[in-house]
Amino acid sequence: MLRLLVNSLAKEFYQQHAGLFLTGFYLLFGIVEPSQLIGYNKALLLSGVSSPIGLVVVSVSWILYSVKVHYFLKQKLSLASYNFVNELGSLDRNSQLRLWMALYCVLLIPIIIYVIALTGISIYNELYLSLIYILTVFAAMTTSISFLSYRLVTFGFLKEEKHQINPNIKVRRPFFSWPLFYLINEQPLMLLMCKALSLVFFKCMLWMFADVGHDTRVLLVALLASILCHATLVLTLLKFETTNLNFSKSLPISTYRRLLGWLLTLAIILIPEWIFLILSSEYDVYAIANGLVFGMAASLFLVAFLYFIKLNMSGYLRGLLFFFFIAMWSILAHYYLLFSFFLLGGCALYYLLNYNRIDLKVEE
């Protein structure tokens, strides 16, 4: 049975997330010269076990990855083509748990390799508390997701009874906040992964240009990388609006209010990025103001460009690459403020003129 699960679930997981693993491989082995590769990876591993912050970053990264794996399995097990997995419910609990743990060990191979490397460097540097912490976190994480999968298969047919805490309490949700609640309620993993990836890219850009010193352009390049990490998130929001909120076109809501709603939505989604920006700028008002304008302009560009290409995914990826080079040139050439205002005004004008002309539901 384990071989069947590996050939179906594990194989499909690695195929679907090949891009993620290639990106991780590049960050570990492709961004430094071959002569510095060993020293770079040793320093990276040592930073993960020599301080509490490093241990927290490592454990949070593992937990995010394991949650992603678990939700992938949960989504696949809900499909009719994977009904054969329900036969595991006839086994006793210990047999099921061993089977799920074996499957997760296959799915968590990238983490297991990292655990082995961290174990070796912890023993070599006599960091025994870090070693105990790493092994405990990995064991608890693997056991937890295995138990969740066991309960999903064994008791998944039971319907949970939902109770209202107080039906008299009603909270009014503004129209612009509906996409936000959709992300929180329906796409929490995507939102969490997006924010984690955004933080990683923001910090990587700052480290890459650390020798430049305090420069607004470095902050804007880091913010640009973080904004582009939200490309899939904005696409998901626009598809949600097209599919579930298409009726709102018949409501008496002006295009200006819709544009303002998008700006508020994007500003709220980017709150963690605003915090990164403020902390990294050392509270430089000029740098913060430029970052806010540039961040809103780049975010609104994602929305306007999706309208322009009518949700075409291949065109979206090519356009993002072109936008990255244009934005980088404007930042490095000190035209970032002019570029930000021009981009913000142009995208807002395009949205106002074409919102009622383009029906994405038809075009899609």
How large is the average pLDDT for residues 347-358?
87
Residues 6+ apart with CB under 8 A from 327: 224, 298, 339
> Is 107 a member of any domain?
yes
Mark which of 155, 172, 191 sits at the end of a domain.
Answer: 155
343 and 226 together in one domain: yes
> Is 175 a member of any domain?
no
Assess contact for 1 and 84: CB atoms under 8 A.
Answer: no
Q: Tell me, what's the pLDDT at 27?
A: 64
Q: Tell me, what's the pLDDT at 166?
A: 47
Domains contained in the chain, number: 2
151 and 15 together in one domain: yes
149 and 196 together in one domain: no
Distance between CA atoms of 93 and 24, rounded to whole angstroms?
36
263 and 126 together in one domain: no
Q: Tell me, what's the pLDDT at 317?
A: 79
196 and 328 together in one domain: yes
247 and 322 together in one domain: yes
> Is 304 a member of any domain?
yes
> Is 72 a member of any domain?
yes
92 and 211 together in one domain: no
Q: What is the pLDDT of residues 304-346, one digit of tens each?
A: 998 888 888 778 878 888 898 899 899 989 999 999 999 999 9
> Is 35 a member of any domain?
yes
Which residues in 113-137 are b (16+ Cβ under 10 Å) and which e? Answer: ebbebbbebbeeeebeebbebbeeb
113 and 220 together in one domain: no
247 and 312 together in one domain: yes
111 and 253 together in one domain: no
Distance between CA atoms of 85 and 149, rounded to whole angstroms?
11
Q: Tell me, what's the pLDDT at 186?
A: 78
128 and 249 together in one domain: no
326 and 190 together in one domain: yes
> Is 303 a member of any domain?
yes
Q: What is the pLDDT of residues 64-114, one digit of tens each?
A: 888 888 888 887 887 777 777 777 777 788 888 888 899 889 999 989 998
> Is 177 a member of any domain?
no
3-state secondary structure 129-166: HHHHHHHHHHHHHHHHHHHHHHHHHHHCCCCCCCCCCC
Q: Is the pTM of this model over 0.85?
A: no
Candidate from 163-167, 183-187, 198-202, 227-231 with smallest mean pLDDT? 163-167
* Residue 160 CA: distances (Å) to CA of 151, 234, 356: 13, 32, 42
> Is 24 a member of any domain?
yes
Assess contact for 121 and 46: CB atoms under 8 A.
Answer: yes
Q: What is the pLDDT of residues 109-143, one digit of tens each?
A: 989 998 999 999 989 888 889 899 999 999 999 99
Domain range for 242 is: 183-363
Q: Which two tokens stand for residue 308?
A: 């322009």
Name the residue among 113, 118, 138 with its Cα closest to residue 128.
118
Assess contact for 104 and 10: CB atoms under 8 A.
Answer: no
End-to-end alpha-carbon separation of the chain, Å? 41
Q: Which two tokens stand for residue 274?
A: 């605003």
